[in-house]
Structure 1
Amino acid sequence: MKKALLALPLLLAGIVTSASAQVEIGLKVSPSIASLRVDAPGSLGFASDGSKLGIGGGVIVDYFFGQNYAFSSGLLLTSKGGKINYLDQTAPNDPTQVRRSQEISLQYLEIPVTVKLFTNDVATDTKLYFQVGGTVNAAVAGRINSSKYYTDPATATELKASKHFIIPDAALLAGLGVEYQLGQSTRVFAGLSYHRGLFNIDRYFEKERSNMKGVTLKNNELALDFGLKF
């Protein structure tokens, strides 16, 4: 994952050098609603408990291999996570069950690997676009209940919140939007995208809690995409 992130600037530089006329580079900001898809044995009482607001953004690159077709990538910092609740023992020596809740906040470095399909002009200097593909993600920070550290009440064990989750993730991406040309090489765009996580990001329940095997947490994100291309 680190090698891929380090290689991306070199790849983008090579693309710009070899086919600068076909490359559009820009900036994007994406406010989003993130949640977690939860799956676990019924006896554990795991459930999704709502979504959280986030914001992300970064650099995007559209490399056109046809008049209306582009390979779209970039390097983004995104916010994911959500709220969950589950049944657990009250304390290390107290088997009485209580319902606990966690608000999970994760930050990822994200590399999109997608294709954008553009229509012809639907109005003056205005095109629609459709984006499909996926993303490769690496977790760089995490919080549970707004804290970088979390003490599990059932075991009295404190760990960094980021240690509760695996680093790599990947997602399917589907989006659509509208792009408007302001000048010869300047464009603005706005769109909507859905990111469906593919990996089980849980590490803590599987490895640290022997009575909670089979817990699966996967990212979901719905984002508004606003950007400017040069």
Structure 2
Amino acid sequence: MKPINVVKHSAAITFFLFSTLIGTSQGNEDVKTARLGLNLSPNLGWISPDNDGYSGEGVKLGLQYGLSMDFVLFNNPNYYLATGVKLSHIGGKFSHPERPNYLGEDDDRARGVSEANYSLRYVDVPFAIKLKTNEIGYAYYYGLFGLEGGVNIKAEADYDYTDQNGSNAELKDVDVKDDVSLFRADLVFGGGIERTLSGNTRIVLGLHYHNGFTNIVNGRSYDLESNGAFSKDQELKNRQHFVKLNIGITF
């Protein structure tokens, strides 16, 4: 699937919802049927592996930005469908046992440990229910809960390999797109504040958590026995999570 097709399909879905919800809200002129906005959200992401010998190795700084669209539900300005189109830069680090001759047949390194630092890029479309208060001192407070789905368009990784004898090797900017799942899905929840600047213009500040529930990295790896030897292979199990500071402006 080409990335340009993903963008077209995402835009078609969101604008279909836009048209449908406007049609259901025309009976109440006091309710603004939709709010469009722009978001720039720094995030801290991590990968949680669930395999013997695998462990997470900390967080990675990322960024998500794009177009947000909030559509009124039930002609009530306290209920919204929050969606949009986002470009997400996320990732994480994890270490895992590595077989001998890791770098090829000519590699004489012994068994060791490899630390992988993944940099992933997605086109994402969120679908969440947003509950918003009435205006309180020029501000509106909100909470949201929903899902976000994404399609991977780029994946690179850096590897730092150390064998049991202390020999070290590094690989930079390795294309790992074939090893990364095409689709990603998250459970999303969070909250924040919208502050009126002038007229319909508001600034947005919130904190959102993305709890991934699909595998990020595909494939199989070796199992590490208690004596340090490799035996049967195992299916990779890992999840991507991140927390983001949602910064935006809506109109």
TM-score, length of structure 1 as denominator length: 0.84
> How is 1:46-195 mapped onto 2 (pairs within 5 angstroms)?
46-65=54-73, 66-91=76-101, 92=104, 96-122=110-136, 124-145=137-158, 160-195=175-210
What's the offset of the Cα at 1:182?
1.4
Match of 1:217 among 216, 219, 238: 238
The count of residues paired between Structure 1 and Structure 2 equals: 216
Relative to structure 1, is the Cα distance of residues 33 and 182 closer, same or farther in structure 2, using a 3 angstrom cutoff? same
Q: Distance in 1 between matches of 2:234 and 2:40?
A: 38
What's the offset of the Cα at 1:120?
2.5
What's the offset of the Cα at 1:205?
3.0
Percent identical among aligned pairs is 25
Gaps in structure 1 of 5+ consecutive residues? 147-152, 154-158
Instruction: Find out whether 1:28 has 2:36 as its counterpart.
Output: no
Gaps in structure 2 of 5+ consecutive residues? 27-31, 160-167, 169-173, 222-230
Relative to structure 1, is the Cα distance of residues 6 and 179 closer, same or farther in structure 2, using a 3 angstrom cutoff? closer
Relative to structure 1, is the Cα distance of residues 162 and 55 closer, same or farther in structure 2, using a 3 angstrom cutoff? same
TM-score, length of structure 2 as denominator length: 0.77
What's the offset of the Cα at 1:12?
4.9
Deviations 1:46-73 (A, max 9, x none): 1111110011110000011212111100
Please give the root-mean-square deviation of Cα atoms over the aligned residues, in Å.
2.8
Relative to structure 1, is the Cα distance of residues 13 and 70 closer, same or farther in structure 2, using a 3 angstrom cutoff? closer
Match of 1:5 in 2: 10
Q: Which amino acid aligns with 2:218?
A: R
Q: Distance in 2 between matches of 1:12 and 1:127?
A: 24
Deviations 1:96-146 (A, max 9, x none): 320111100101111010011112233x11121001001011111111019
Q: Distance in 1 between matches of 2:235 and 2:14?
A: 39
Q: Distance in 2 between matches of 1:211 and 1:162?
A: 25
Q: Distance in 2 between matches of 1:78 and 1:99?
A: 29
Instruction: Find out whether 1:228 has 2:249 as its counterpart.
Output: yes
Q: Which amino acid aligns with 1:125?
A: Y
Specify the structure having the higher radius of gyration (Cα): 2
Aligned residue for 2:99, secondary structure, equals strand
Contact 2:18 2:34 in 1 (8 A): no
